[in-house]
Amino acid sequence: MRRRPMMVAPGRMGRPGLIGTMARTAVVAGTATAVSGSVSRRADRRAEEQAQQAQQAQYQPAQQQPVPPQPATPGDTMSQIRELADMRSQGLLTDEEFAAAKAQVLGT
């Protein structure tokens, strides 16, 4: 296969000139900027999704089963009700679950 002779200025042997070097540098820099921007946007999107998931998990407490009734002494009953109240204040029990569990502890 024969190569076609390059059209170059006299005294030059196929090396890119200043303009060719600048053009190549501009293409490389442009490509790097585009890739960098894409990677950065993707990382930002992932971080935002993770933050939203963490925020949703914070506002949606895990489903808790009401505390099963146990035979209790009067002092033990008060401590169980206090524990249930603490669980409600932490957001682990809804008001309805708290009322149902309290009724079970009191035996009503």
pLDDT digits (tens, 9 = 90+) for 1-28: 666 665 555 555 667 788 878 888 878 7
Indicate whether 43 pLDDT > 80.
yes
Buried b (16+ CB within 10 A) or exposed e, 81-91: beebeebbeee
Say what the pLDDT of residue 68 is: 59
Res. 91 pLDDT band, cuts 50 70 90? confident
3-state DSSP call for residue 25?
helix
Could you give the C-alpha distances from 18 to 13, 24, 30, in angstroms and in order?
Answer: 14, 10, 18
